[in-house]
A and B are shown apart, each in its own frame.
Chain A
Amino acid sequence: MTDPKTIDPTTGFDRRAVLKGAAAAVGAAAGSGVVTGFPAIWAQNIKDVTLRQFGTGVSNLNAIADQVKKDLGFTLRMTALDSDSVTQRAVTQPDSYDIADIEYWIAKKVFPSGALQPMEVKKIKYYDQIVPIFTTGKLTPDSVVAQGTAPSTVGFVEGPGAKTFAKAPTEWMTLIPTIYNADTLGIRPDLVGRPITNWKDILDPKFKGKTSILNIPSIGIMDAAMICESAGILKYGDKGNMTEAEIDTTIATLIEAKKAGQFRAFWKTFDESVNLMTSGEVVIQSMWSPAVTAVRSKGVPCVYQPLAEGYRAWGGGLGIGKNVKGLVLDAAYEYINWYLSGWCGAYLNRQGYYSACLSTAKQHMSADEWGFWMEGKPAVSDILSPDGKVLEKAGAVRDGGSFEERMGKVACWNAVMDKDRYMVRKWNEFIAA
């Protein structure tokens, strides 16, 4: 269990005072800024600020924008895109956003392009309470950093303008972690007809024509690696950074399975995976946690099956665009601090994700909710989604158990490889084969 240092939300966070101080300081230093004229009333002007955020659908939720308006007074405008478009937009249109809500593996591509500015750790109020996965990389002092683009490896730089990542935590963070999760295979327990225990089960001829994996190369290759390693085909040095030979073998295995008709389809978006599962087109496939919830909420049984080899994890965070400054930058820090202050964390935890500051989120959740989502305890009463739908009946236990059981069994993180270009070419061969 991470140490839940309690903070008192009433005294711990006087936004107005912080903002006034910051605004005055910046105003004095910059003289002129985005808003011309009167530094003294910037604190009022922040209500007029619109923060433009874009990112993947997972965390671009209207409820968050509404709550920001209520708690902070300014407007958060969100755009949801798929992971590929997110990468593209982050790199090619740095002026089109203030806040980039991206995944850590995307950050590995985006940050060296100079599209984002690092954030000062000392302005991050809850830095000390961020789950250590994102700082030191170790969930508990004796855990091992998993393979792939672990968030801790791309979480820091030496200073503004740096394009390479720091090996250990520094005063400059690239992304403020927001949400993360451990992914595994989703199954239809009513249709698989046998216990599913390993990643290799997706290759079982019994499920011929009833399986799917996701067709986002950088994530799909990781699922493929988990499958190959599980099937004993290959032992990887680092699944997140394969050699060309490893890529060749992995893709060859996939092509062989594809030619044998093992796969029904490959999916690219959340909705596609939900539809494939709900309609019974597939019975075992790569899936994201909220997709499993979505299938279940349609009354179709679906299990996010924990597997012996562990999970493939991913994490996202908020970054600030390189040209954001002045009042907007203040608002951005304000927003990020709010993000970590609890309400948002609780909101995300209730959807089956994990939030970066567990201690603050806990204060916004009931003991029963906390027990179900985070501690793997049976639900005492019905578990509701943030919008009030019943997700689980009383007595249910979360697939995979507690936070430590799930995040402690991460085998690899979503990654960008050095041989990225080669991998993508081979992946295209797989799709074309």
Chain B
Amino acid sequence: MTGRLAPYLQAAPLALILGAFLLLPLAAIVAVSFWDYDSVQIYPDFITLNYAETLGSWVTWKTYLNTLKFVAIVWAITTVVGFLVAYFLAFHVRSTTMQMVLFLICTVPFLTSNIIRMISWVPFLGRNGLLNTTLIELGIVPAPLEFLLFSEFAVVLAMAHLYVLFMVTPIFNSLMRIDRALIEAARDAGANGWQTLTNVVIPLAKPGIAIGSIFVVTLVLGDFVTVRFMSGGQSASVGLMIANEISLLQYPAAAANAVAVLVLVLLMVAAMLRIVDIRKEL
């Protein structure tokens, strides 16, 4: 009897934690998304108006499109940069000690708060900021470059900076597991460097890339602070839209929006898992 109970008991703590801190709140969000509200209160109800208003407005679609644009650009940048950094660490740095030291150096900026790393771009990129002042004094540009700050460029730059480590780590992990004999075998079989990279290294790094992608995609989809500060409030994202709704006490609308974005995230993650079997990695 105890033998049959044991696995359930073993799974119980995690099940309880997930149930209490994930499923329950999620159920609450879904429930509230069907409630009614006015400017001060929310009323238990079952209406689909929140979804109709959210999905029926061009603002929502435009915002989602804008957010997906950020996702795509940031994903592309972090993947390329992340792969290059991880590749260098894994294949060009010879000693394991040095690899670890360099990897730890990569993580140093991440010991400071997310917000601080982001905000520090502001004085750097500003109209009278470090970069513009330098460029003007060197005579490279005649007038300050306005697009550097409070623009989509700034948002993408800050996001890429904030999230690139989430790409480096899993890819580095994948690359370290590649049996070096495979690379030698490829060379023996006559493959040049590029062929080795595309036919051996990248396919074997896929699980790492997939895990990194899941991190980056979900982080960018849910981001609102970076978008707000780096765009100077001029650009919208789904997270920002939800934050705005919450701040105006429009909880049901925010909940409906949250459910929509959750569905989107799950779909994207599912699609990624279809392409890459990350269980191989685990």
Task: Write the residues of chain A forming the contact surface with B, with a CB cutoff of 8 angstroms.
Answer: 84-85, 87-88, 91-92, 109-110, 112-113, 209, 212, 215, 217, 258, 263-268, 275, 279-281, 416, 420-421, 424-425, 428-429, 431-433
Within 8 A of A (CB), among B27-53: 38-41, 53
Nearest CB in chain A: distance from B47 CB, A: 14
Total contacting residues, chain B, CB less than 8 A:
34
Would A420 and B233 count as touching, CB distance under 8 A? no
Pick the residue among A91, A217, A264 that contacts B249 (CB under 8 A): A91
Would B233 and A281 count as touching, CB distance under 8 A? no
Known contacts A109-B39, A263-B234: A432-B249 contact under CB 8 Å:
no
Q: Which residues of A contact B150 (CB under 8 A)?
A: 264-265, 281
Nearest-CB residue, chain B, relative to A281: B127
Pick the residue among A109, A263, A429 that contacts B59 (CB under 8 A): A429
Q: Which residues of A contact B57 (CB under 8 A)?
A: 425, 429
Would B232 and A264 count as touching, CB distance under 8 A? yes
Interface residue B63 (Cβ < 8 Å from any Cβ of A) = yes
- Interchain CA distance A329-B240 in the complex, whole Å: 39
Within 8 A of A (CB), among B241-259: 241, 244, 246-250
Nearest CB in chain A: distance from B113 CB, A: 16
Known contacts A109-B40, A421-B38, A421-B39: A265-B250 contact under CB 8 Å:
no
Would B59 and A421 count as touching, CB distance under 8 A? no
- Interchain CA distance A65-B236 in the complex, whole Å: 39
Known contacts A209-B146, A424-B248: A112-B234 contact under CB 8 Å:
no
Would B62 and A432 count as touching, CB distance under 8 A? yes
Contact with A along B62-99 (1 / 0, CB 8 A): 11001000000000000000000000000000000000
Would A85 and B247 count as touching, CB distance under 8 A? yes
In the complex, 17 of the A-B residue pairs with CB atoms within 8 angstroms, ordered by the A residue number, are A84-B247, A88-B249, A92-B249, A113-B40, A265-B234, A279-B127, A279-B128, A281-B127, A281-B149, A416-B39, A421-B38, A421-B250, A425-B53, A428-B241, A431-B233, A431-B236, A433-B62
Nearest CB in chain A: distance from B119 CB, A: 10
Q: Which residues of A contact B66 (CB under 8 A)?
A: 432
Interface residue B222 (Cβ < 8 Å from any Cβ of A) = no
Interface residue B160 (Cβ < 8 Å from any Cβ of A) = no
Known contacts A421-B38, A425-B57, A432-B63: A268-B233 contact under CB 8 Å:
yes
Q: Which residues of A contact B19 (CB under 8 A)?
A: none
Interface residue B25 (Cβ < 8 Å from any Cβ of A) = no
- Interchain CA distance A113-B248 in the complex, whole Å: 14
Would B41 and A91 count as touching, CB distance under 8 A? yes
Given contacts A263-B234, A275-B122, A281-B128, 16 further A-B contacts (CB under 8 A): A84-B248, A87-B247, A88-B246, A88-B247, A91-B41, A92-B249, A110-B40, A217-B248, A265-B150, A279-B126, A281-B127, A425-B59, A428-B241, A429-B59, A431-B234, A432-B66
Nearest-CB residue, chain B, relative to A216: B247
Task: Write the residues of chain B forming the contact surface with A, with a CB cutoff of 8 angstroms.
Answer: 38-41, 53, 57-59, 62-63, 66, 122-123, 126-129, 146, 149-150, 228, 231-234, 236, 240-241, 244, 246-250
Nearest CB in chain A: distance from B227 CB, A: 11
Nearest-CB residue, chain A, relative to B244: A428
Q: Which residues of A contact B228 (CB under 8 A)?
A: 268
Would A420 and B246 count as touching, CB distance under 8 A? no
Pick the residue among A85, A267, A429, A433 that contacts B233 (CB under 8 A): A267
Nearest CB in chain A: distance from B12 CB, A: 33
The 5 closest A-B pairs by CB, nearest first: A265-B232, A266-B233, A84-B247, A432-B236, A113-B40
Known contacts A84-B247, A432-B59: A266-B40 contact under CB 8 Å:
no
* Residue of A91, A92, A217, A432 with most partner-chain B CB within 10 A: A432
Would B128 and A280 count as touching, CB distance under 8 A? yes
Q: Which residues of A contact B38 (CB under 8 A)?
A: 421
Nearest CB in chain B: distance from A279 CB, A: 5
- Interchain CA distance A212-B150 in the complex, whole Å: 12
* Residue of B150, B228, B241 with most partner-chain A CB within 10 A: B150
Would A281 and B246 count as touching, CB distance under 8 A? no
- Interchain CA distance A433-B62 in the complex, whole Å: 8
Would A420 and B236 count as touching, CB distance under 8 A? no
Nearest CB in chain B: distance from A263 CB, A: 7
Nearest CB in chain A: distance from B131 CB, A: 13
* Residue of B40, B126, B236 with most partner-chain A CB within 10 A: B40
Q: Which residues of A contact B246 (CB under 8 A)?
A: 88
Q: Which residues of A contact B236 (CB under 8 A)?
A: 428, 431-432
Nearest-CB residue, chain B, relative to A424: B248
Q: Which residues of B contact A424 (CB under 8 A)?
A: 244, 248, 250
Nearest CB in chain B: distance from A55 CB, A: 16
* Residue of B39, B59, B240 with most partner-chain A CB within 10 A: B39
Nearest CB in chain B: distance from A328 CB, A: 25
- Interchain CA distance A267-B146 in the complex, whole Å: 17
